[in-house]
């Protein structure tokens, strides 16, 4: 599930007024005054008071993560949907989103009925109850990406407080993606360490301390159309609005592998592309800098001298002829053993550049895992098997090369 921030966290938004001069903007969700601003003026608003339909000027630095131009998107006829989401981890999330009638019909939403979040573009692994479907508030004109979702996790227990050198404090869930200057990408808020820098409009913002918070509390997040990013605090720190969701990616991946990517709806395709980009390019950010250093540090010294890079022990996607077999193993790892086949530390190994992704090596790992998983296995046994295959990968699967020479 996506990360979230404390309700008092300030977010930078733009709300162009329809009339000349200043006017009050009332939060569409609860009627509270969110801001009093002039036309085309950016202002800082508490995240718990950001209204649906306003805009943010922030642009995602990873352009492959964007899926359409929000300024040119048509919002006529859209609806405001109120949901109560029950996550598989036990948490309850109050959700308000703006969506088209087409989206509602495609996902079979009905007031008073339950539905699965799995194949929607909403980053929740679980079920949702539809409380209401009403006409959407006006999406205000102007430049910038539109806020199309508000999420309130009633009680979060994985919160951290990150304090910057200048005294600014950010309280949020440890997994919320924040831009790290040193990594050149997203890492979880809890993965920051003293000395690392967040990205602000004024430049790098250095982290001083990171504190784990024991108590639970409500946390808030937004969904930003197209760009998927927004800025928080008076420093305008760059954060993402979504996070990795293994269950959702596996469900979407199953459709793509079995039926073809054209079978995905527009919103499904947008979410699939976002998750696919995380799999291809963003896994270092999802793992976090410390985890990557740990994996590399466990490699033999001889290998570190020769060089190599981070590999998935089981190919993350595979060539077309391997994709179904790989997906079936990935689904078993996730559903039967709780091992994320894309982001779990146990699925990675630091190995030589050559020899790990050859057809022979990929097929060897597939055959080994298929044979091993035919019998019921404990989680510990599966982890042990992955480690064995990882050790072989670190050796460059040299025994396969020997067989080829015979």
pTM of the model: 0.66
| 3 has pLDDT over 70 | no
State mean pLDDT over 334-346.
88
- For the chain, domains (ranges, CATH) are 10-238 (2.170.16.10), 246-405 (no CATH)
State mean pLDDT over 130-158.
91
What's the confidence (pLDDT) of residue 287? 59
| 205 has pLDDT over 60 | yes
Higher pLDDT, 238 or 188: 238
State mean pLDDT over 150-168.
94
What's the confidence (pLDDT) of residue 111? 97
Q: Show the 3-state SS of the chain.
A: CCCCECCCCEEEEECCCCCCCCEEEECCCCCCEEEEECCCCEEEEEHHHCCCCCEECCCCCCHHHCCCCHHHCCCCCCEEEEEEEEECCCCEEEEEEEECHHHHHHCCCCCCCEEECCCCCCCCCEEEEEEEEEECCCCCCCCCEEEEEEEEEEEECCEEEEEECCCCEEEEECCCEEEECCCCEEEEHHHCCCCCEEEECCEEEEEEEEEECCCCEEEEEEEECCCCEEEECCCCEEEECCCCCHHHHHHHHHHHHHHCHHHCCHHHHHHHHHHHHHHHHHHHHHHCHHHHHHHHHCCCHHHHHHCCEEEECCCCCCCHHHHHHHHHHHHHHHHHHCCCCCCCHHHEEEECCCCCCCHHHHHHHHHHHHHHHCCCCCHHHHHHHHHHHHHHHHCCCHHHHHHHHC
Higher pLDDT, 290 or 189: 189
What's the confidence (pLDDT) of residue 27? 39
Higher pLDDT, 207 or 393: 207
Higher pLDDT, 287 or 146: 146
What's the confidence (pLDDT) of residue 67? 60
Please state which of the ranges 74-88, 272-286, 335-349 shows the lowest mean pLDDT: 272-286
| 52 has pLDDT over 60 | yes
What's the confidence (pLDDT) of residue 125? 64
What's the confidence (pLDDT) of residue 35? 34
How high does pLDDT run on average in the chain? 82
At residue 354 the predicted structure's pLDDT band, cuts being 50, 70 and 90, is confident
At residue 165 the predicted structure's pLDDT band, cuts being 50, 70 and 90, is very high
What's the confidence (pLDDT) of residue 282? 57
């Amino acid at each position: 599930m996506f990360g979230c921030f404390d309700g008092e966290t300030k977010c930078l938004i733009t709300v162009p007024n329809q009339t000349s001069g200043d006017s009050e903007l009332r939060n569409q969700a609860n009627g509270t005054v969110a801001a009093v601003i002039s036309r085309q003026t950016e202002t800082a608003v508490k995240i718990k008071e950001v209204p649906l339909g306003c805009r943010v000027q922030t642009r995602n630095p990873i352009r492959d993560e964007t899926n359409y131009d929000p300024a040119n998107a048509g919002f006529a006829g859209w609806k405001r949907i109120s949901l109560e989401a029950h996550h598989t981890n036990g948490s309850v999330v109050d959700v308000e989103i703006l969506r088209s009638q087409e989206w509602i019909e495609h996902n079979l939403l009905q007031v008073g009925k339950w539905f699965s979040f799995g194949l929607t573009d909403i980053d929740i692994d679980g079920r949702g109850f539809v409380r209401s479907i009403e006409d959407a508030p006006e999406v205000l004109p102007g430049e910038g990406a539109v806020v199309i979702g508000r999420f309130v996790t009633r009680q979060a227990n994985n919160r951290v407080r990150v304090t910057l050198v200048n005294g600014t404090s950010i309280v949020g869930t440890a997994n919320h993606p924040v831009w790290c200057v040193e990594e050149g990408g997203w890492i979880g808020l809890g993965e920051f360490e003293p000395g690392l820098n967040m990205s602000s409009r004024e430049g790098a913002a250095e982290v001083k301390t990171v504190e784990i918070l024991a108590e639970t509390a409500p946390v808030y997040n937004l969904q930003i159309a197209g760009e998927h990013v927004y800025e928080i605090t008076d420093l305008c720190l760059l954060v993402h609005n979504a996070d990795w969701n293994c269950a959702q990616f596996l469900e979407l991946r199953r459709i793509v592998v079995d039926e073809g990517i054209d079978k995905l709806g527009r919103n499904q395709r947008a979410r699939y592309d976002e998750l696919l980009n995380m799999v291809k390019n963003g896994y270092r950010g999802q793992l976090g800098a410390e985890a990557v250093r740990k994996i590399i540090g466990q490699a033999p010294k001889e290998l570190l001298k020769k060089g190599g890079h981070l590999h998935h022990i089981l190919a993350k996607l595979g060539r077309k002829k391997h994709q179904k077999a790989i997906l079936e193993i990935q689904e078993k790892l996730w559903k039967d053993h709780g091992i994320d086949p894309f982001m779990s530390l146990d699925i990675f190994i630091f190995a030589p550049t050559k020899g790990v992704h050859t057809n022979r090596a990929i097929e060897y790992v597939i055959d080994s895992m298929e044979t091993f998983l035919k019998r019921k296995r404990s989680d510990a046994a599966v982890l042990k098997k992955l480690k064995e295959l990882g050790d072989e990968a670190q050796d460059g699967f040299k025994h396969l090369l020997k067989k080829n020479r015979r």
